[in-house]
Structure 1
Amino acid sequence: MAKGLPEKCRKCAMLSAEQAQVLHGKEGDNCWNPGVCYSRRSYVRHRDRINQTRSRKRKEGRLEQISVEFEPLSQLVYGVLVVYRKAGADTPVHAIAAEIWQGQEKIAIVPAVHCGGLVPSQVHTYVGKMLSVLEKRYGIRKFASQTRLDPDLCPLHPCPLKA
């Protein structure tokens, strides 16, 4: 069993560091040790939170992880549309790409293309052509989801934003 902290240290931890050094330093009872006292005082002030975090981690470590094998999930092929644009409703689309997934594994990509100079109807037309190619190759008629990424993450070089 771990020994508890002395009552003196518990009371000292509630004081400011300056007050504690005056009370327990050279002018006081001379028990102040800078190598120990700073961390001990911090631990005393935050021990409830620290112990709660430790307890939660111990409990999580004992939880059983159950994997569920579901054949249709591993065979499912779907597409994710990746749109590079700033946050906001009226911001222009910087670039478009797509990812093709089978289960939890990425099996193909449609490389990003810049959309600078394209009007929205042209962007929609390009996405439609992308879907027609994906339908022929993978049977994907529509994208399962859309991911918006910041244009600063655009993978294309040269890129007007990085010039």
Structure 2
Amino acid sequence: MLDAAQAQALHGSEGDGCWNPKVCYSRRSYARHRDRKNQQRNRSRQESVLKTLEVEIPEFAYLYYAVLVVYRAAGGDTPVHAISAQVWQGQQQIAIVEPIHCVGMVPSQVHLYVRKLLALLDEEYGTRKFASLERIDPQQCPMHPCLHHPLVVA
């Protein structure tokens, strides 16, 4: 942490006598810059280790699938805040079902909405079930106003 002049005064001929100009300048430089050098070294290791492979999957490029998006807090018995859906074809998102708030709905009403949503997706895209379920925290609800994003009146 000392500058070169202070280190020489402390460890030079007037100090404990361990200062060696052939070695100490290099060691001090390494100590000052070791974080940056280690970070660069780690990056180069990761880049050399990681290799990106692409698999050609033309047979799946025209496959439709749907993802159910549920805005719900973590926990077993938390209420569903909102529901949305996404439709994908291969690796491209092609449609979205806008989210609706489920506040005030009983569980049977939520299930009825999901069944109607699946019927619509089956009619449009031939999707009979959801490929996956994505759970998102209600704080990230995109609809405004809602319980987590009240209408602000100035």
Tell me the CA shift for residue 160 of structure 1. 1.6
Of 32, 39, 44, the residue aligned with 1:54 is 44
Quote the RMSD (CA, aligned, Å).
3.1
Q: Distance in 2 between matches of 1:106 and 1:85?
A: 22
Classify the secondary structure of the residue corresponding to 1:58: helix
Is the alpha carbon distance of 1:119 and 1:25 closer, same or farther for their aligned partners in structure 2, counting shifts above 3 Å? farther
Aligned to 1:85: 72
Q: Does 1:40 align with 2:30?
A: yes
Aligned to 2:116: 129
What TM-score comes out, normalization by structure 1 length?
Answer: 0.71
- Per-residue CA deviations over 1:55-78 (Å, capped at 9, x if unaligned) read 332343xx4x44332222101100
Give matches, 1:1-163, under 5 Å: 17=1, 24-29=7-12, 37=28, 40-44=30-34, 51-60=41-50, 63=51, 65-163=52-150
Unaligned runs of 5+ in 2: 13-18
- List structure 1 runs of 4+ shifted beyond 4 angstroms: 20-23, 30-33, 42-50
Q: Which has the higher helix share?
A: 1
Q: Distance in 1 between matches of 2:40 and 2:114?
A: 51
Tell me the CA shift for residue 51 of structure 1. 3.3
Instruction: Tell me if structure 2 keeps the 8 A contact 1:22–1:28.
Output: no
Identity %: 41
Q: How many residues are matched?
A: 140
What TM-score comes out, normalization by structure 2 length?
Answer: 0.75
